[in-house]
Amino acid sequence: MIIPCIDLMGGKVVQLRQGREKALEGDPPLVMLQKFRAFGEIQVIDLDAALDQGSNDGIVQELAQRAILRVGGGIRTAERALDLLDNGVYRVIIGTAAFTPEGINRPFLESLPPERLLIALDSKGGRIVTRGWREATQFSAEEILSELEPYCAGFLCTYVDKEGMLQGTDLDWFRRLRAATKHEITAAGGITTLEEVRALTDMDIHAALGMAVYTGLLSLDVLAALNAGSR
């Protein structure tokens, strides 16, 4: 499955390089949602919430009434996660709150319905990073994946080293992750070419696409046709 991404900052649709530098702005959120109408599921990340500088909850709830959304970014309490689910979000994506300095935040994860939860394993320099990719943990995605399986329906695995840079992604990393779990995996971070999308599909890994779509390197029409053929 191909999943287009809508990243929100200050009420606008943006794309960042390495989670920090704004590279471009897209059309308004509802316009982008309409452009992505051919795809069954949309990924929405609230960058303001991820960076502890506010939220875009109103926009997220409006989008959730119109499409099937997986939503992440700064969801660090069970109350906020459940509120999003109650307001039409299909699945929530939990990153920072899934971990403590010692390991998995089991009490928090146990408070959420696993079938509606995706856990974000954002990896930079071989380690999982949290708090908007600003803090590194001591864990790698490969070594902790299986321990997280009971708490979620799948994983969003972002190769942060290449995020937003249009330099390609690390297919070998995703192959290792695929071998480590039978859960659903969504790949993100640096996916630039149709060949990469097809390679991920062949691995039974979903592809979350941002910068390559917004810059026109990947055609939405071509992606929609490829997505339809992979169902």
d(CA 167, CA 169): 7
Which tokens sit at 149? 């399986």
Pick from 63, 59, 84: which is nearest to 74 by CA? 84
d(CA 89, CA 86): 7
Which residue do the tokens 């971990």 mark? 99
Residue of 46, 48, 57, 122 marked catalytic = 122
User: Taking the CA atoms of the chain, what radius of gyration do you get in angstroms?
Assistant: 16
User: Has 7 been annotated as catalytic?
Assistant: yes
Residue of 7, 46, 48, 57 marked catalytic = 7
User: Has 122 been annotated as catalytic?
Assistant: yes
Indicate the SS3 state at residue 71.
strand
Indicate the SS3 state at residue 127.
strand
The residues assigned a catalytic role are 7, 122
